[in-house]
Amino acid sequence: MRCKDIERLIIASTWKDLSREELLLIKEHTQQCAQCTLFQSEYKNLRLSLKNNPAPALPEKLDRSTYKICRKALNLQKKSAPAIPPLIWGVLAVLIALSVILFVPVFRDLILNEPLSSQALFVLTFLIQNTVMLFFTPILIKNFREKKQGLNIFS
């Protein structure tokens, strides 16, 4: 095996378990190759020194400003209005009631496996439309509010 392949295996051994064959390849190659033995030793020492040294600290000013920005975004999210306004709940309740009132007479057509009348098709279309509205309205309202308030800091 080439030295580059052995170096890749040595590096890979730090984040994944190597197979028995790969470990044998490293062992055999490092016994014959002084350069790869040196690489393995230096790589091990480098990893140990990185482990023992603490992570560098952020500059105080950057740390404070980042903290303030994150806190502000979180506070704005907490103070936002309820997900769905009461007016929308009222409209959705009316639509649900209308759907039920219109669907009850058509339900018999569906049970009897008769061809659907134009009224039945209208009611089914109305029900599907309302179902989609009920599902997507909260999502659309939330997205609209986030854009309006500038909360969507990742987009």
pLDDT per residue as tens digits for the range 21-41? 998 999 999 999 999 999 999
Q: Domain coordinates of the chain in residue numbers?
A: 3-52, 75-149
Q: Round to whole Å and give the CA distance between 43 and 48.
A: 9
pLDDT tens for 101-111 read: 877 777 766 66
What value does the mean pLDDT of the chain take?
79
Amino acid letter, 119:
Q
Residue 155 pLDDT? 45
Other residues' Cβ atoms within 10 Å of the Cβ of residue 22 = 17
Rounded CA-CA distance 35/29 in Å is 10
pLDDT digits (tens, 9 = 90+) for 47-67: 888 888 877 777 889 888 988
Pairwise pLDDT comparison (129 vs 30), residue with the higher score: 30
Contact by Cβ (8 Å): 40, 7: no
